[in-house]
Amino acid sequence: MVIEAVKPLTAAEISELCVRHTMYDWSLQAGLKPLAVATAKGVRFETVDGRRFIDFNSQLMCVNAGHGDRRIIDAIKAQADKLTYISPVAATEPRARLGQKLAELLPGDIDKVFFTLGGTDANENAIKIARAVTGRRKILSRYRSYHGSTGTAIEATGDPRRWPNEGAGGVVHVLDPYHGVERGTDPAGPALQQLEETIRLEGASTIAAFILEPVAGTNGILIPPDGYLEGVREICTRNGILMICDEVMSGFGRTGKWFAVDHWGVVPDLITMAKGLTSAYVPLGAVGLRPHIAAYFDDHVFWAGLTYNSHPIGCAAALATIRAYEEDDMVGNSHRLGKVLAAQHRRLQERHPCVGAVRNIGLFGAIELVRSRRTLEPLAPFNGTSPEMKAVAQALLDAGLFTFVRWNTIMTNPPLCITQAELEEGFEILDTALEIGDRAVND
């Protein structure tokens, strides 16, 4: 047998071929120049042409355990050696153990899960379950939200990614308790009153569920005021509306607790997860059901299914990921270093007039840039960008810091394994890049 040596592609070739033959998310395809990434370890990744980056967004807020964790890689390999795939009608050890482990970790009495491939289909199925159990069709969701890219998940999404995708209807959006740049300082009352009023006008008997991110992610790390989630829980219960918490981004230690709802002691009827479930080493999502929801399907057919439901490699990866979180107390690290991150945020706010607001919960953070501290005019408009925001984003990349820059917001969501020294290293880069923002401040 002749084995031909395959000449590795250059960074430029990889980037060009990827753009020519594959589609990129949420963007114009012409003019894209994606980084050709070769390897990653801990909080860093490296491109094919040798550039090194510190990852301040855990990619898409998903690589919570950090890159290249041997324990997770070895578990994936071991499962691949034993059994790569079996139909979801079968029972497997990783499925059994992961189901049991999640029942232990998930809030309150949630003790059953339906496994999916990611967050979008977790939300699609949570909504489907809510409709089946209540016999109602309508779904409530919030404007500042993202719940996934297909079907009802994109209809439920409140942010502008919904606009080109909507049409089927059946979702009613409500306002959230966040206004202006200093989001998160508003009281819970007005948003709860508006929710009650919407339910009255839409008819409680027509609404199956209210889906919400307990801490909204891509829309700016929006932390609810105390009393808000508790109020939503009470309003949903009183109206027979199921509460679905989308913890796809906020789950698995990101906020300094296993799940964001744990900060307020709220137990939703359904919870969705993905991303941190496997730290994105392989795709896996899940819907968690409380016993009173799961019981409905004891004598009603569960009209849902996926070829990859409970994929053995996904389940094995998730078990190893959760074990890694536990062994290294990464949830505790997120809580502890969340305080360091908050102090770094405040330092930037003191030093840079362009920093209008900062907020975080655990290692889930965001910095909002403004043109004026007085008017709090954002440095880029809602759903848009500006030359100054583009320049700040470019300066971060040039200095070796990878993060998510959206509208006027810079995200600070590093892997939960980050050390204080690594965190401070990232903030030094932010400190320098923000000087560009300062030059745009007009008072």
Ligand X SMILES: Cc1ncc(COP(=O)(O)O)c(C=O)c1O
Residues near ligand X, by CB under 6 A: 60, 118-120, 123, 146-148, 213, 217-218, 246, 248-249, 274
Residue 2 Cβ, how far from ligand X at the closest point, in Å? 42
Please choose, from the candidates 259, 251, 255, 257, the residue with its C-alpha nearest in 3D space to the C-alpha of residue 277: 251
Rounded Cα distance, 166 and 30, in Å: 25
The amino acid sitting at 268 is P
Residue 123 Cβ, how far from ligand X at the closest point, in Å? 6
Residue 19 Cβ, how far from ligand X at the closest point, in Å? 21
Note whether 256 and 338 are within 8 A (CB).
Answer: yes
Rounded Cα distance, 113 and 98, in Å: 10
Q: CB atoms < 10 A from the CB of 260, how many?
A: 29
Query: Quick one: 183 or 371, whose CB is closer to ligand X?
Result: 183
Chain centre to alpha carbon of residue 145: 11
Rounded Cα distance, 136 and 433, in Å: 50
Rounded Cα distance, 229 and 248, in Å: 17
Residue 275 Cβ, how far from ligand X at the closest point, in Å? 6
Query: Quick one: 304 or 376, whose CB is closer to ligand X?
Result: 304
Note whether 138 and 207 are within 8 A (CB).
Answer: yes
Rounded Cα distance, 199 and 304, in Å: 28
Residue 60 Cβ, how far from ligand X at the closest point, in Å? 6
Instruction: List, in sequence order, every residue forming a beta bridge with 287; answer none if it has no partner.
Output: 114, 272
Residue 148 Cβ, how far from ligand X at the closest point, in Å? 4
The residue sitting closest to ligand X, measured at its beta carbon, is 119
Query: Quick one: 274 or 358, whose CB is closer to ligand X?
Result: 274
Query: Quick one: 15 or 123, whose CB is closer to ligand X?
Result: 123
Residue 250 Cβ, how far from ligand X at the closest point, in Å? 7
Query: Quick one: 405 or 429, whose CB is closer to ligand X?
Result: 405
Query: Quick one: 284 or 396, whose CB is closer to ligand X?
Result: 284
1 three-state secondary structure = coil
Rounded Cα distance, 370 and 378, in Å: 4
Tokens of 171: 């979702």
Residue 365 Cβ, how far from ligand X at the closest point, in Å? 15
Query: Quick one: 276 or 437, whose CB is closer to ligand X?
Result: 276
Query: Quick one: 64 or 349, whose CB is closer to ligand X?
Result: 64
Residue 249 Cβ, how far from ligand X at the closest point, in Å? 4
* Interacting residues of 262 by C-beta distance below 8 A, sequence separation 6+: 107
Query: Quick one: 117 or 441, whose CB is closer to ligand X?
Result: 117
Residue 120 Cβ, how far from ligand X at the closest point, in Å? 3
Please choose, from the candidates 412, 323, 274, 409, the residue with its C-alpha nearest in 3D space to the C-alpha of residue 104: 323
Query: Quick one: 246 or 262, whose CB is closer to ligand X?
Result: 246
- Helix, strand, coil distribution of the chain in percent, nearest 5: 40, 15, 45
Tokens of 7: 């000449």
The region, left, alpha or beta by phi > 0 then psi within -120 to 50, assigned to residue 256 is left
- Three-point CA angle 176, 413, 102, nearest 5°: 80
Q: What is the DSSP string of 31-45?
A: T-----EEEEEBTEE
Residue 28 Cβ, how far from ligand X at the closest point, in Å? 20
Rounded Cα distance, 405 and 86, in Å: 40
Tokens of 282: 């392989």
Query: Quick one: 148 or 253, whose CB is closer to ligand X?
Result: 148
* Interacting residues of 428 by C-beta distance below 8 A, sequence separation 6+: none
